[in-house]
Amino acid sequence: MAHPRSLVIRTFSPLTRVVAFAGVLLSSASAWDRHADCTGDYCGALVIVAPGEPDILLPPVSITAISRDIDEQLFRKLADIGMSGNTIGDADFQPDLALRWRWEGPTTLVFQLDPRARWQDGHAVTATDVAFTYDVYVDSVIASSSRPGLRFINGVTARDSLTVVFKFQKRYPEMFYDAVYQMRILPAHLLRDLPRDQWKTAPFGRAPVGDGPYRFVRWKAGETLELIADSTYTGAGAVTQLTAGEADATETLGPPQFVKQAQAAAQLAIYPYRGSAYGYLGFNLTASGDTTQPHPLFGSRELRRALVMAIDRNRLVQSVFGDLAKVPPGPMSQLSWIWDPATRALPYDSAGAARALTRLGWVDSDGDGIRDKGGRALSFHILVPTTSGIRRQYARLLQESFRVAGVDVQLDEVDFSLFLARAKAGQFDAVLNAWSTEVTPSAGIPQTWTAAGVGGGRSNYGRYVNPAFDRLVDRAVTSATSRAAARRTWRSAIEMFNQDAPGIFLFAPDNVAAVDRRVAGVTIRPDSWLALLRTWRIPADKVTERDRVDP
């Protein structure tokens, strides 16, 4: 039988966990005998459905969200973020590999590691592993996406086998967050001799050895990936599988019709939580294909502002998502702690947009419904990935909205690899893009919206640069003395950014997870939905025949 391509995580918690792709479920009646000694609430199998399979299971070079989800189960951090989501200071963080920590002066942070921690091949986890991990993450050859978040750390050294020392350039509010959240600790004894230019294709990434709550078993490409709980550890297809009893959980149900379908299933519990993504139409401020010149249209701040005001973003988000998304107040997801609906942004004002376009000389001189100036039609292309149904839907809604405003829009719909190549090279007029963010704006906004993210294949695709905005961002990241002060500075920065109109910020979806009601103790942390998976359990009286899976 054909199945939609999906990811299924099947868990004997904490004895066995299996991940399967393409809806393939593993079962073996004889396997139960091998786990006959497992009693109580932690012997069930949990099946989780999500799109696609990992790119690689090696955290510094893992790119896809599902890779990061699985990495979370295999590799530990020094400490982890608390349920409050507070990233300022260290008070709300929970110990993980580090039992405790202390500050030795304003820019020196010392961690004491848990002496019981072991790699799953039996070697002890040591401070040398932490120092090695830092060296890997900041290596330009590795080019980890977390590297910018470590830019204020001068170095990491092992004082002894269980004591690791972080030295910072200066004191700033999210020092602790950067030290613990950006890196998953790696086994130096297994990876030290691996050439750095070979990490993206390393065999280790297909058969990793970690120190987390689960250990790797096997990965059959396109079919199954299996993990087993480590006893030493101190879309529509998804909905169909869930309601059929073939799966137990999925991270996000997707469009509203799938949420309604899941809500109608008596065996499913629904868990809404703040989403980590936002989508936007980004203007290219430089000429397409020649980043040394201003874009003939979007080089004009006033034209960009007029185009923003021409779009009724609330109507669009309701049309696509219903009540399962919000219009973001700037370049942020709902997960971000700076989310504030009161942040000033350009309003929807079709009459004001029309007046502004006319004032700029864009009028319909020939009666064809499209504004023009000096013999040139007000026309541009939007770059759209064919892999995103949501963005393709938005592209058509935007095309029609702009047509009503007298603007001709053509859609360049391309596969994702070409989309990404063109976006990085600046070969577009406008790009319909989406970013997945962390809890803190410090991890994303500097990379995607300041001068630091321009060129070299980095993430400020539209080449928006405003030194005043950059200074406010730097002040918010490095100089704010409290979360309240940082929030005020971030709001000032975002309001300045919104007035410059480098893009139209369209949607910030909610996430809605679904979990079978037989699973108890479900707690979802919005920044990483599986972060607390080890606390989920399947009570003994809820174990089913499907749980009898060969590890």
3-state secondary structure of 92: coil
Parallel, antiparallel or unpaired: strands 98-103 and 79-80? unpaired
**CATH number of the domain that residue 477 is part of:** 3.10.105.10
**539: its two tokens:** 């009570």
Sign of CA dihedral 270, 271, 273, 279: negative
Residue with tokens 């012997």: 43
Based on the fold, state whether residues 358 and 301 are members of the same structural domain.
yes
Whether 366 and 515 share a structural domain: no
Q: Is residue 392 part of a domain?
A: yes
For the chain, the domain total comes to 3
Q: Do residues 156 and 245 both lie within one domain? A: no
pTM of the model: 0.71
CATH number at residue 233: 3.40.190.10
Domain match, 332 and 455 both: yes
Q: Is residue 197 part of a domain?
A: no
* Beta-ladder partners of 376: 373
User: H or E stretch including 49?
Assistant: strand 48-50
| Interatomic CA distance for residues 535 and 42, integer angstroms | 9
Both 155 and 106 in one domain: the answer is yes
Nearest to 343 by CA among 494, 484, 508: 494
Rounded to whole angstroms, what are the CA distances from 532 to 72, 207, 220, 228, 278?
Answer: 10, 23, 26, 16, 24
Domain-embedded: residue 198: no
For residue 171, the SS3 value is coil
Residues 247, 48 contacting (CB under 8 angstroms): yes
Assess if residue 207 is contained within a domain: no
The 8-class DSSP code of residue 172 comes to: -
Residue 28 in domain: yes
Judgement on whether residues 424 and 449 belong to the same structural domain of the protein: yes
455 with 318, same domain: the answer is: yes
Residue type for 456, please?
Answer: G
pLDDT in tens, the chain (551 residues): 222 222 234 333 333 344 443 332 222 222 223 344 445 555 566 666 666 788 899 999 998 888 888 999 999 999 998 878 889 999 888 888 998 899 999 999 999 998 888 899 888 899 999 999 999 999 999 999 899 999 999 999 999 889 999 999 999 999 999 999 999 999 999 999 999 999 999 999 999 999 998 888 888 877 778 887 775 665 456 777 788 777 889 888 877 778 888 898 899 999 999 999 999 999 999 998 788 899 999 999 999 999 999 999 999 998 888 889 999 999 999 999 999 999 999 999 999 999 999 999 999 999 999 999 999 999 999 999 987 878 988 999 999 999 999 999 999 999 888 999 999 999 999 999 999 888 899 988 999 999 999 977 789 999 999 999 999 999 999 887 788 999 999 999 999 999 999 999 999 999 999 999 999 999 999 988 989 998 998 898 888 776 665 54
Please calculate the CA angle 152-157-161 and round it to the nearest 5 degrees: 145
Identify whether residues 105 and 58 lie together within a single domain: no
Answer yes or no: do 166 and 236 share one domain.
no
Q: Quick check: is 44 in a domain? A: yes
Range of the domain at 113: 79-191
Whether the upstream peptide bond of residue 446 has omega within 30° of 0, thus cis, is no
Classify residue 205: in a domain, yes or no: no
Pair 175, 253 in one domain = no
Q: Is 400 exposed, middle or buried (0-12, 13-18, 19+ CB in 10 A)?
A: exposed
